[in-house]
Amino acid sequence: MWELVAILIKIGIVVGISQGAVAYLILVERKIAAWAQDRVGPNRCGPFALLQPLADGAKMLLKEDVIPRYVTKPLYILAPMIAIIAAMIGFAVVPFGPVGPGSPSLFDTTVEFQIAPNVDIGILYVLAIGSLGVYGVILAGWSSNNKYSFLGGLRSSAQIISYEIPLGMSILGMVLISGSLDLNTIINWQDNNVWGIVVQPVGFLIFLISAFAETNRLPFDLPESEQELVGGFHTEYSAMKFGMFFLGEYLHVITVSYLTVVLFLGGWDIPFVLDQTQVGWFIALVKVGVMLAKVSLMIVFIMWVRWTLPRFRYDTLMDLAWKSLIPLALVNLLATAGVVQLWRQSWN
């Protein structure tokens, strides 16, 4: 019974923090954009525009919610829900800090920094949920009954399906090396040995590129490219329905950053400073903080790239996935498998 309550509390905290973080990420993005373009950016609402997210949120909620008469109503309403739900439930298996033996306890209950600890197929679950997110985009595009939206939806479905393949294969190298699909085991392996980026540099690169494509971020934001498609799949959406797509996109960015940190940047690990044998509340909170710092750096990197690279043309986008990334990921996977097999044979 108390376990259930603890899980509900944990879900509440994670949902609350991530939603709040999204609001401020939008501010950060606008500030970084301004900085990159030599502008001032938002500076009117409170000190350093810190109240800007509140104003934006209120605007989203209070605006008139327009549902055009020509849309397919059930799907038009369903699409933003799918977008945000698919982005939210991916967090269930993401570790936010140390998990496993030695976790700190509160009122005789062990506190694990993960909503569903020790899910055996952690990374597969994230991929499965991520692959459902495409429904939000493609249904929004179709149900809007608008050529621009429809083209955006079609582009997006092709793009996301294509980039799912290199994304999955780039992760497999790390899975082979650490011998588990469980995200905590992968972090612990990196703590015992070296960070994933050292043993899987090519995998890291492929993962990063595919993750940009999966989150529809520039330079892969073809589904909503303003110059060609007005607003892409969300042209017909207004008020909070548009806000839900927006939220979903930023939640995806957070999830992807967490995954990158967990898989390739050592999770909560700092070499020679933090390791699994240190336990207790203080250490646990430090580890959560370290992980958060790494994730923030990753998010800033994603926003920085937005103002550095121009958008792809559609055929070059597809060429990149099918002619470069997938063969590269296959070669990387084969090489990793071979090396892992040889290593195990010679050491055991």
Partner 1 sequence: MYTFEIVRAIAVIVLGATGTWLLLPHRHGRVKPAASNLAGAALSLIALILLATLWRAPSNLLNGVFFYAFGIAALAGGVLTVTSRNPIYSALWFAAVVLATSGLFLLSGAQFLAAGTIIVYAGAIIVTFLFVIMLAQREGRATYDRMARSPGRATLTCFLLFWTLLYALISVRSPHSDAAAEGDMQVRLVRASQILQSKQMVPTKGNASVVVRALSPTNKLPEAEPHASALGQHVAGLGGALYTDHLITVELAGSLLFVALIGALMLATPKPPVRPGSSSQPPV
CB of 129 to partner 1, least distance (A): 8
The residue range among 154-162, 197-205, 216-224, 326-334 that interacts with partner 1, by the rule CB under 8 A, is 154-162
Residue type, 168: G
Q: Interface mask (CB under 8 A) for partner 1, residues 39-78, using x and -?
A: ------------------------------------x---
Residue type, 100: G
Please calculate the CA angle 246-248-253 and round it to the nearest 5 degrees: 100
CB of 44 to partner 1, least distance (A): 43
How far is residue 280's CA from residue 158's CA, in Å, rounded to a whole number?
A: 47
Helices (H), the chain: 2-36, 52-62, 73-89, 122-143, 147-178, 183-192, 196-199, 201-214, 226-229, 239-264, 281-306, 314-319, 326-347
The residue range among 150-158, 216-224, 245-253, 272-280 that interacts with partner 1, by the rule CB under 8 A, is 150-158
293 binds partner 1 (CB under 8 A): no
Q: Interface mask (CB under 8 A) for partner 1, residues 71-110, using x and -?
A: ----x-----------------------------------
Q: How many residues lie near partner 1 (CB under 8 A)?
A: 30
Dihedral (C-alpha) 315, 320, 326, 329: value to the nearest 10 degrees? -170
Q: Toward partner 1, which CB reaches closer, 153 or 243?
A: 153
Return the residue of 28, 34, 135, 285 that touches partner 1, per CB under 8 A. 135
209 Cβ contact partners less than 8 Å away, ≥ 6 residues apart: 166, 320, 325
Q: Toward partner 1, which CB reaches closer, 120 or 226?
A: 120
Sign of CA pseudo-dihedral 40, 46, 52, 55: negative
Residue written as token pair 């502008």? 39
181 binds partner 1 (CB under 8 A): yes
Residues in the chain: 348
Among positions 159-178, residues that touch partner 1 (CB under 8 A) are 160-161, 164, 168
Binding site for partner 1 (CB under 8 A): 75, 118-121, 124-125, 127-132, 134-135, 138-139, 142, 150, 153-154, 157-158, 160-161, 164, 168, 180-182
